[in-house]
Amino acid sequence: MKKLLALVLALVMMMGATAAFAEDLVLTIGHIGPQTGPAAVYGLATYRGAQIAADEITAADNGITVVLLNEDDAHDAEKAITAYNTEMDKGAQMIVGTTTTAPCIAVGAKAFEERVFMLTPSASSTDVTADKDNVYQLCFTDPNQGSASAAVINERKLGTKIAVIYNNADAYSTGIYQTFVEKAAELQMEIVSTTTFTDETTDYSVQVAAAKDAGADLVFLPIYYTPASQILIAANTIGYAPVFFGVDGMDGILTLEGFDTSLAEGVMLLTPFVADAKDDATVNFVTKYNDLYGETPNQFAADAYDCVYALVAAAQLAGVTSDAAAEDVCDPMIAAFQQLQITGLTGAMTWSANGEVDKVPTAMVIRNGVYVGLDN
Amino acid sequence: MAFLSNLVNGISLGSIYAMIALGYTMVYGIAKMLNFAHGDVIMVGAYLAFCAAQYWGMPPLVALLIAMVACTVLGMTIEKLAYAPLRQATSLAVLITAIGMSYLLQNTALLIWGANPKVFPDLIGLDSLQLFGGELVIKGATLVTIAANIVIMVVLTLFINRTRMGKAMRCVSEDRGAAELMGINVNRTISATFAIGSCLAAVAGFLLCSSYPMLQPTTGSMPGIKAFTAAVFGGIGSIPGAMIGGILLGVIEILGKAYVSTELGDAIVFAVLIIVLLVRPTGLLGKVQREKV
């Protein structure tokens, strides 16, 4: 009898111990992004943003520890696959990444086969999530930005005659352009000039002159900030000053070395995150980032920060345990993301069944060298 | 007026191509090799001028001089280390080496100056010329580039035709073996050619970035290729040919973009090149060389 009692007691204690372990969650997340090469600025930002979130969650002492693994993919699809394999070998349960689109498509396909859950902070092409139920996006998709821009321009009557200058050698730019045009046609907006350039273009005088000659009072620039700076300079040379309206790629123009930021005065853009916002969460994040890395975080860092919080919240909903294998976590995580509602630095978010995020873009304008809300 | 404005923009772009093409054509004409790293020496020159003016606080002219001296040394070093050992090798080996050198320079620049682009400051400081009540704007940098082109073209032509070194260069260009037999130091002559070509590259980098102020490790590559096209267009090896080819190429590119399609601008440029080469295989001002059988 005593023996039996001892056995039962031992069993009870063991179960208690397991239960106690289950409460303490150690979540292993792998980050992949370019930290060398021409796209390094984006991968470093997502890694740093994710690390700050991981440290915050662990330090909060809620019984959750986030272990963040990190690998560099140099914005290269093959290197990204190697990075992914390395992290899976080290015991990653899910992936935050990859930062850029082309590697994300490659890693997404492999992760789909192996059933590993991925949440990308910034790969914005629709190809990233297409036909893969395990890949989720936290950034806007490219089409979303185009139609949202057209809607904002129309709603607020920012311009009546619109010119578009876009990069027809770039999937990001072309994707936004196409949905912009569709939405503009639907809203019966007048597009008076459409011109293109490529990554190799040196001279933008033709594009700017075409917009000016067509009498455009608003120029839509669904492009990155580097060519945008050249377009602003070219417009200034010929004394052309319409409203310039950009998308999230415009973010970075104020920190471009040597650029006369007075040329960017009045430039409008749609972006989910503004480092100058005054809410506590943003101020806290920006201060920490500045202290640690000596610079102001961009939207990529903010997106990655939100990613880690979203993954932890979903993991709790899905009942993920510390020792669960990645392939066992995947389906519960997908189900959890369908229910998840979370508010982060980049706004309130929910996810659709195809993995795209639903959040509201904010229209911003550059005044006195800083972004302020269009309503301020 | 829109046409005139486009024409001016075309000449502005073309004068930059012409400046770069002068360097290509010098080296090709004398050393008989395509120095594909030329565009990247331009980029290095632009970065050095940027650093001198922006970080070390030098006046623009001193910044330009620093870039010129540094690029001359760089060009001679590249020639000594990479091209001179291949003097007897096939031209294909030299070509591949030049492409390798181009990547080496680009990636070194990436290491030193980083991937983030920089906007080149306005070092020329000459106000734009406003004509017809502001309808036609000519950038100060354009005026300086055109003037610099003419001066350099004249000086180079005089140098080649009137000096001892120039004579030696013409000899090496005509027949390297015979020149050597006549007691001309071929290695020194080719080295001097590279020195001049690289010095011109620094000036071209300075002017390129003054007109189109975007500086990144790949800044020199596309203008370099276009300028090479311009040199072939004008007749490679001919100094006035490079000048004319460059300006024509710039004008065709801009007018093509303005009146046909911005998407087809570059296609038009290269289509014109193909047509010119079909009609005149040696380019506009190229010398026809008769082969004696």
- What does the pLDDT read at residue A16? 47
- Rounded CA-CA distance B42/A120 in Å is 39
Same domain, A239 and A297: no
Q: Tell me whether residue A370 is in a domain.
A: no
Which domain range does residue A302 map to?
23-140+280-358
Q: Residue A363 is which amino acid?
A: A
- What does the pLDDT read at residue A18? 47
CATH of the domain at A221: 3.40.50.2300
Burial of A16 (0-12, 13-18, 19+ CB in 10 A): exposed
User: ipTM for the complex?
Assistant: 0.84
- Rounded CA-CA distance A126/A174 in Å is 13
Q: Which helix (H) or strand (E) holds A119?
A: strand A117-120
pLDDT in tens, A274-326: 777 778 899 999 999 999 988 888 889 999 999 999 999 999 999 999 999 99
How do beta strands A190-197 and A161-167 pair?
A: parallel
Q: Look at residues A271, A306, A324 and tell me which one is the last residue of a structural domain.
A: A271
CA-based nearest distance A201→chain B, Å: 8
The residues of B whose Cβ lies within 8 A of any Cβ of A are 2, 5-6, 9, 12-13, 16, 50, 54, 110, 115-121, 128, 134, 137, 139, 208, 212-216, 221-223, 253-254, 257-258, 262-263, 265-266
Does A209 contact B214 at a Cβ distance shorter than 8 Å?
no
Query: For A103-118, b where at least 16 C-beta lie within 10 A, e where not — what string?
Result: bbbbbbeebbeebbbb
- What does the pLDDT read at residue B251? 93
Q: Which residue of B has its CA nearest to A210?
A: B258
- What does the pLDDT read at residue A217? 92
Strand partners, A162: A191, A218
Other Cβ atoms closer than 10 A to B134: 10
SS percent in chain B: helix, strand, coil, step 5: 75, 5, 25
Other Cβ atoms closer than 10 A to A353: 9
Does B214 contact A230 at a Cβ distance shorter than 8 Å?
yes
The CA-based angle B62-B65-B70, given to 5 degrees, is 125
Chain A residues whose beta carbon lies within 8 Å of the beta carbon of residue B223 = 202
- Rounded CA-CA distance A232/B138 in Å is 17
Residue owning tokens 């280390």: B81
- Are A11 and A50 contacting, i.e. CB atoms less than 8 angstroms apart? no
Of B16, B54, B212, the CB nearest to A230: B212
- What does the pLDDT read at residue A249? 81
Does B119 contact A39 at a Cβ distance shorter than 8 Å?
no
- What does the pLDDT read at residue A22? 47
- Rounded CA-CA distance B129/B136 in Å is 8
- Are A73 and A331 contacting, i.e. CB atoms less than 8 angstroms apart? no
Same domain, A120 and A150: no
Q: Is the peptide bond before A98 cis (omega within 30 degrees of 0)?
A: yes
Chain A residues whose beta carbon lies within 8 Å of the beta carbon of residue B251 = none
Interface probe, candidates B9, B12, B110, B259, chain A, greatest A C-beta count within 10 A: B9
Residue owning tokens 């004409």: B29
- What does the pLDDT read at residue A140? 83
Q: Tell me whether residue A257 is in a domain.
A: yes
Task: Name the nearest CA neighbour of B118 among B16, B48, B29.
Answer: B48
Task: Name the nearest CA neighbour of A165 among A123, A224, A251.
Answer: A224
3-state secondary structure A218-247: EEEECCCHHHHHHHHHHHHHCCCCCEEEEC
- Rounded CA-CA distance B69/B201 in Å is 11
Q: Tell me whether residue A372 is in a domain.
A: no
Q: Which residue of A has its CA nearest to B225?
A: A200
Same domain, A72 and A134: yes
Does A213 contact B54 at a Cβ distance shorter than 8 Å?
no
3-state secondary structure of A260: coil
- Rounded CA-CA distance B35/B76 in Å is 12
Strand partners, B279: none
Q: Tell me whether residue A116 is in a domain.
A: yes
Q: Which residue of A has its CA nearest to B120?
A: A258
What Å distances lie between residue B206 and A334, B52, B61, B145, B163, CA to CA? 55, 12, 10, 10, 28
Does A257 contact B118 at a Cβ distance shorter than 8 Å?
yes
Q: Which residues of chain B have pLDDT under 70?
A: 288-293
Same domain, A148 and A262: yes
Q: Tell me whether residue A224 is in a domain.
A: yes
Q: Tell me whether residue A375 is in a domain.
A: no
Same domain, A197 and A310: no
Q: Which residue of B has its CA nearest to A213?
A: B2
Does B262 contact A206 at a Cβ distance shorter than 8 Å?
yes
- What does the pLDDT read at residue A305? 96
- Rounded CA-CA distance B275/B267 in Å is 12
Chain A residues whose beta carbon lies within 8 Å of the beta carbon of residue B139 = 237
User: A263: which 2 tokens?
Assistant: 């040329």
Does B137 contact A229 at a Cβ distance shorter than 8 Å?
no
Same domain, A121 and A75: yes
- Rounded CA-CA distance A44/A36 in Å is 8
User: B272: which 2 tokens?
Assistant: 């014109």
Does B9 contact A37 at a Cβ distance shorter than 8 Å?
no
Q: Tell me whether residue A122 is in a domain.
A: yes
Burial of A363 (0-12, 13-18, 19+ CB in 10 A): buried
- What does the pLDDT read at residue A83? 96
pLDDT in tens, B137-146: 888 888 899 8
User: B292: which 2 tokens?
Assistant: 């004696």
Same domain, A44 and A110: yes
Of B128, B137, B222, the CB nearest to A200: B222
Chain B residues whose beta carbon lies within 8 Å of the beta carbon of residue A168 = 263
User: A217: which 2 tokens?
Assistant: 């009072």
The CA-based angle B237-B241-B247, given to 5 degrees, is 135
CB pairs under 8 A between A and B: 86
Same domain, A202 and A309: no
- Rounded CA-CA distance A222/A150 in Å is 11
Of A197, A210, A239, the CB nearest to B134: A239
Task: Name the nearest CA neighbour of B208 among B66, B61, B20.
Answer: B20
- Rounded CA-CA distance A302/A296 in Å is 11
Domains in chain A, number: 2
Q: Which residues of chain A have pLDDT under 50?
A: 16-22
Q: Look at residues A218, A243, A271 and tell me which one is the last residue of a structural domain.
A: A271
Q: Tell me whether residue A123 is in a domain.
A: yes
